[in-house]
Amino acid sequence: MKDFTVIARRRGRRLRGSVALLVINTIGPQNASGAVPVDYTINSNDSGVQVLLSLASTANPVASNFGADSGGGAAAGGYTYLGTVALTVGGSNIPLAIPDGLQNVFKLHFLPTGGGDANVVSSASVSIDTTDSVLSPVSFADNSAEGVSWGFTPDEDSAAISGYRVSVWPDGTDPSDALIASGTGATATATGTAAGTIGESGTFASLGAGTYQPTIYYKDPFGNEVFATYADVTVAALVTFAVERVVADYLGNNAVTSTKTFSINLLGYDTGTLIMVPYGNEDFLVGGTLQGNAMTVEQISTGTAGGAKASLLTYVLTAPGTATESLVLNVNTAQQYNVVDVWAVKGGQIVSKNYQEKLDGTSFSVPVTPDNAQNAIFAFVTGRQQPDTAFTWSNLTEIDDERVAAGNNAYMSTGLVENVPSGVAFAVAGFLTGSSFRHSMIAVAITPL
């Protein structure tokens, strides 16, 4: 229910036994507190002035219309009876309750005590809005980083000050309307102002695993308020995953053969660990085995575009790793020189992969797309090198650099970056300097299982 703020002005006196003379000087506009200012003049105190509300387009009432609702009420084109008010010569602010759910142009009509049709006084037209804002759609969701992402779209502008407040509370709080408006005691809260039909969104970060109760307070320019509580949001514990190098140096096997065999130490790596094996550069891999099982050829660069031949094989441990695991790599053709690295990913999976070959060009851009806010972008560049060859990562950090002995000239640089924006392509970038040629890059996006 909204109020009219009624302001009186002193004007003359009424003769004993006569009807008070009332004049409505001005009305409105409705203000941010929901009140509609009414400036009136009355010539004597009257404690029983009856009031009706109607649409501006409805004919002004006669005296017999006062005392009760008629015609279905103001919203339906009739009259809504608002009761009686006391108007004084000295003037005072008088609350006059207006029903909720109205949104149109209206008039107020007054009938002083003892008055007839000739004494009915009608105001000018005024816009009145006592409808609550509609917030749709509203979403609260686990953002996969122990936080909550939220969003909503209002159907109308908010108040210019204290327009809205979004909060999350410990499960079972069931805050009162006053607390929803103030945010006092909430786990996290955010405020702002909004424009009608324009979405608002944000994120509460690092709340910790648990169940939270979301609320929204929204106030429109006319003082109408929404106090809403939504379904609980369960925030999952942050899944920790790590990318670790397994061997201290590159693996070498310079025999002229199409099968390269190595013994690697995987002690301490549990069942389910993802093993990644980057390989370059005389030819590409067509397969391999680890723990006696076939590995996955995750990505290859065949050199058909003039770049280096490179490969990435992966394998998920089917049993806890041992200190002497046999890694067998099958090369497309018998080759002598290579550079091999081994990396372990704990609790993670590859969700996106890509590659690029370069014959003479120096700049790389390889897009991959993580699907989780917690992620790692892993990439390696491999090829033939000269003593002055170097690779500079533009948006990754180099975590390994391998330069194989003279006569081999194999080169591999590995880079990593964590927690880039999810759901959009991240272009892994970098450039070669020095006397280099025939290089390829393979990149993958890794996210928690």
Q: Please give the residue that has the higher pLDDT: either 432 or 52.
A: 52
Name the token pair of 240.
């920790």
Residues 6+ apart with CB under 8 A from 59: none
% of the chain beyond a pLDDT of 90: 66
Which pLDDT score, from 0 to 100, does residue 296 have?
A: 97
Q: How many alpha carbons lie under 13 Å from residue 165 in its C-beta half-sphere?
A: 19
**All structural domains of the chain:** 4-129 (2.60.40), 139-235 (2.60.40.10), 242-448 (no CATH)
Q: How confident is the model at residue 283 (pLDDT cuts 50, 70, 90)?
A: confident
Per-residue confidence (pLDDT) for residue 1, from 0 to 100: 44
Cβ neighbours of 81 (radius 10 Å): 17
Beta strand 390-393 pairing with 426-433: antiparallel
Average pLDDT over residues 378-399: 87
* Pairing label, strands 80-87, 121-122: unpaired
Please say if the pLDDT value at position 255 is more than 90.
no
CA-CA distance, 156 to 258, in Å (whole number)? 70
- Specify the pLDDT at position 13: 40
Q: Which amino acid is at 192?
A: G
For residue 128, pLDDT beyond 80: yes
Main-chain phi, psi angles of 384, to 5 degrees: -90, 145
From 118-127, 172-181, 388-397, the region with the lowest mean pLDDT: 388-397
The yes-or-no verdict on residue 114 having pLDDT over 80 is yes
Provide the whole-model pTM: 0.53
In single-letter form, the type of residue at position 99 comes to: P
Q: What is the mean pLDDT of residues 111-131?
A: 95
278 strand-pairing partners: 312
Q: How confident is the model at residue 432 (pLDDT cuts 50, 70, 90)?
A: confident
pLDDT digits (tens, 9 = 90+) for 158-202: 999 889 999 999 999 999 999 999 999 999 999 999 999 999 999
Residue 10, pLDDT above cutoff 50: no
Query: By C-alpha distance, which of 83, 87, 16 is closest to 51?
Result: 83
- Distance CA(110)–CA(149), nearest Å, equals 51
Q: Strand 274-281 vs strand 338-340: parallel, antiparallel, or unpaired?
A: antiparallel
pLDDT computed for residue 379 by the predictor:
96
Looking from the CA of 135 toward its CB, the CA atoms found within 13 Å total 26
Q: What is the DSSP string of 154-202?
A: BSSPPPSSS-EEEEEEETT----HHHHHH-TT-SEEEEE---TT--EEE
Q: Which amino acid is at 326?
A: S
Cα–Cα distance for residue pair 28/248, rounded to 1 Å:
79
What is the C-alpha separation between 169 and 185, in angstroms, rounded? 8
Any idea which of 77-81, 161-165, 200-204, 437-441 has the lowest mean pLDDT? Answer: 437-441
Is residue 63 helix, strand or coil?
A: helix
Note if the bond before 281 is cis, omega within 30 degrees.
Answer: yes
Q: Give CA angle at 350 (150, 325), nearest 5°.
A: 140
